[in-house]
Structure 1
């Protein structure tokens, strides 16, 4: 692939034949008698291309197209460029590559801008629709105790499921006498009588499994995900892409490069939140209510959830 930087922007050419037909192109220039004007392109090929310098002509796969002060154009590799044109070539290559990166960033941001209306509409819809991100975020905050709308025993059960990292709901209870005896017998069989006194008096029972658990997971906060998307959309809509500095182009393009991944996260977490916040799924937490007041408060929360 050949990339030319022209007044029209970046031009990409697949065929070397097109380069050889460029006015002024020559495959044989004496580096001792030529002065470089600028680097006008770069190329990368699987097939090797002979160097255009008369003192080299070694085949290579990566190189630059250079324009001489006398109007001729040829191709040289990076090593030959540094060897024969020293600091001048190094500076020109930096300028060229910076210009290419800036133009690539402009093209990338321009492509994103073409999608801007669609993306902005999608994010706004996800936020405000029934059982959308705003609705989910409020109820996830209640379940995890970021707001005080649910009894602490239920919040603690959810927090423990989050710490376990798999959405499993566990109820702790006192071990029965039979369970303690069985544990003691197992310890004796293994010849670890000295551990007999450490037989636990608390047993963990599996009380349920929350579907849509990723909506509760650390790092999946919907407000934070949307907060990483909306400022970029605003900045892109207001930006004059052609007049941005190289630094501004780099920074905006870096955030833009994360846009599709963040949109994917947003869609996935909202989908998980809708699976999580169904009445049947959340009903599993009712076992953790420890008083009639807890049960009434939890029932109020459940009534707002879809079946």
Structure 2
């Protein structure tokens, strides 16, 4: 099956075509009527850097993409899509659709075959993404997030953190505006009697990577995706068509999911640092609350 699939690889070098025993640069085809009964089969698809001349004598159009075709007399020529449709009509269109479907399957087969043969390396790379050198592991980050959201501090402190830190980690404080600021707002508003608030919101801190607190469920799903895929991946030779389609569709997500998983671990290591956690002090003014924040932050020294 693997050898058969190789026949559908895209040809990138014109010498692969011109060196074939039955290849001829030009076939004497003067009209679509003359060509209608000459097409035997499509042999390959090519995409070339330099343009080549169509192999139909009455055309000669220069193009980069097309098909190597076999004629009824067993000679082989190259043609582009438009010439194929013009001269060989419905027969070419049907063969092209079938050939492209087989070529797509061959490419997918090759992709899955390489993934299966590289399975141990894939597993090792996945494990490495969970355990950054000299940093917190995925499991440690996951545990820290769950405890931070549900267990660390008392109810009132957790509630204040929940309401006082934006989803992207910004902490604001309300402060009184200066007379100059209020006067400037009034002037910019046209100088009328419009109400001007005495209070403004000022950004006092930004907690790095705070957004991952809301994404640990997504990270957990990513980890399960890799565990399931590694367990289910099979040699594509001889498997059912349904399983083949399922594995290929799952594998299409692999690179992006691995990138997302690595990013989660990197952000987790940025979130849980002493300096970053200490920014939470901006929310509190009672001494015992400040001590709790500092004690919690000190574990990340």
- TM, length-normalised to structure 2: 0.77
* Superposition map of 1:253-292 within 5 A: 253-289=248-284
Per-residue deviation, 1:277: 0.7
* Structure 1 residues 20 and 276: CA distance shift in structure 2, 3 A: same
Mark the runs of 5 or more structure 1 residues left unpaired by the alignment: none
Deviations 1:240-290 (A, max 9, x none): 312356675555334423322322222222122112112332122134347
Partner of 2:64, secondary structure, is: strand
* Structure 1 residues 20 and 247: CA distance shift in structure 2, 3 A: farther
Native 8 Å contact 2:11 2:46 kept in 1: no
* Structure 1 residues 28 and 161: CA distance shift in structure 2, 3 A: same
Question: How many residues are matched?
Answer: 290
Cα distance in 1, alignment partners of residues 185 and 11 from structure 2: 75
Match for residue 53 of structure 1 among 38, 51, 56: 56
Match for residue 210 of structure 1 among 198, 201, 207: 207
Cα distance in 2, alignment partners of residues 44 and 240 from structure 1: 29
Native 8 Å contact 2:12 2:47 kept in 1: no
Instruction: Report what 2:85 is aligned to.
Output: 82
- TM, length-normalised to structure 1: 0.76
Native 8 Å contact 1:65 1:75 kept in 2: yes
Partner of 2:263, secondary structure, is: helix
Native 8 Å contact 2:10 2:47 kept in 1: no
Per-residue deviation, 1:95: 1.2
Partner of 1:54, secondary structure, is: coil
Partner of 1:7, secondary structure, is: helix
* Structure 1 residues 234 and 243: CA distance shift in structure 2, 3 A: same
Native 8 Å contact 1:105 1:250 kept in 2: no
Instruction: Report what 1:306 is aligned to.
Output: 300
Mark the runs of 5 or more structure 2 residues left unpaired by the alignment: none
Instruction: Report what 1:226 is aligned to.
Output: 223
